[in-house]
Amino acid sequence: MDRTDEMLLETVADLHGIPEGSFNIRKNGKLLARNSDSDIEIISKQDKDGIDIIVRPNVKNKSVHIPVLLTVGDFHDTVYNDFYIGENSDITIIAGCGIHNSTCSDAEHDGIHTFHLSKNAKVRYVERHYAAGGGSGKKVFDPTTRIYLRENAQFILESTQLGGVTYTNRKTYANLGARAQLIVKEKILTDGNEQAITDFKVKLNGKGSRADIVSRSVAKGNSVQKFQSDLIGRNECFGHVECDGILLEKARILSTPRIDAISPEASLVHEAAVGKIAGEQLLKLMSLGLTEQEAENAVIQGFLN
């Protein structure tokens, strides 16, 4: 790995070199490094580009890293990853993707991830998108995440995109069984002419299932963000979607909620708010010695955290 690879790995996956335990590192469409252990096995697919990650039952307090790096232009990388999480397991998956494109041609990564969580399984899934490089070529992410939760399973999705991504269209689909729980914490920052679309479709099928989706976003420059959500309650369940945004300069934020209570026992809530940074916040921070730009950045970081 060169210095660019190391920088991307640190940014998207908090890695300083090759990790311990189970991992799969992909660079420019090819396997860079891999390791499995007795609890978490990683296997290459035979019919298409991607891997199967198999977590044995009752595995606790373990993590698996599957970062992807793109450091060339004129490249479109599509990968299919399937996760099979055994009963009663509790693991963390780090799946950051970083693009460094210094060319005039586009670089794109599309990750299609499907999660199958067995009864009582729990996954914390951390996905960070980051792009850099001084070239005029686009830096594009189009991830698709499909989540299937059995009885009492829990899936926590922490999605972060805080810089340099020209265009992204994230699609998340989830099907929840009895007493299953989906928690989403999304953070997005766009600037310049960047565009970001996030689209959630969650089916609360099982009795006692719950979904809590919270999106925090900041749009600057001429960037455009679109947030779409579709909650479908088919049983006694609870679903909550919250979309809060800060709008600066000539940017635009659109929020489109859809709620479909098929069962009379479904409780579904959507909250959305878009506004600018309050002047009194800036004045208070500037009175402490910060410049206006430093004060604005402090408010943005606090909001996204």
Do 55 and 85 touch, CB atoms closer than 8 A? yes
Q: Answer yes or no: is pLDDT of 28 > 90.
A: yes
4-8, 15-19, 235-239, range with greatest mean pLDDT: 235-239
Q: Where in the sequence is the domain holding 215, given as residue range(s)?
A: 3-278
Question: Measured between alpha carbons, how far is 55 from 64 in angstroms, rounded to an integer?
Answer: 10
Domain assignment present for residue 303? The answer is no
Domain assignment present for residue 301? The answer is no
- Maximal CA-CA distance, the chain: 62
pLDDT tens-place string over residues 161-197: 977 999 999 999 999 999 999 999 999 999 999 999 9
The mean pLDDT value for 211-240 works out to 96
Tokens 């920052």: give the residue. Answer: 189
pLDDT class for 18, splitting at 50, 70, 90?
confident
Q: Answer yes or no: is pLDDT of 16 > 80.
A: no
Give the residue from 196, 213, 205, 222 showing the smallest Cα distance to 257.
213
Q: What is the mean pLDDT of the chain?
A: 93
Domain count for the chain, please give it: 1
The full DSSP string for 248-280 is -TT-EEEEEEEEEE-STTEEEEEEEEEEPPPHH
Domain assignment present for residue 292? The answer is no
Domain assignment present for residue 104? The answer is yes
HSE toward the beta carbon, residue 214, CA cutoff 13 A: 8
Domain assignment present for residue 290? The answer is no
Percentage above 70 pLDDT, the chain = 100
- Coil, helix or strand for 102? coil
Give the residue from 110, 66, 67, 63 showing the smallest Cα distance to 85.
63
Domain assignment present for residue 299? The answer is no
Question: Measured between alpha carbons, how far is 59 from 65 in angstroms, rounded to an integer?
Answer: 16
68-70 and 75-85 as β-strands: parallel, antiparallel, unpaired? unpaired
Domain assignment present for residue 219? The answer is yes
Domain assignment present for residue 296? The answer is no
Percentage above 90 pLDDT, the chain = 80
Question: Measured between alpha carbons, how far is 14 from 158 in angstroms, rounded to an integer?
Answer: 14
- Tokens coding 273: 């708010």
pTM for the predicted model, two decimal places: 0.94
Give the residue from 192, 264, 196, 204 showing the smallest Cα distance to 231.
204
b/e per residue 164-177 (b: at least 16 CB within 10 A): bbbbbbbbbbbbbb
What stretch of H or E contains 6?
Answer: helix 3-13
Read off φ and ψ for residue 250, nearest 5 degrees.
Answer: -110, 20
22-27 and 30-35 as β-strands: parallel, antiparallel, unpaired? antiparallel
- Tokens coding 182: 């989906």
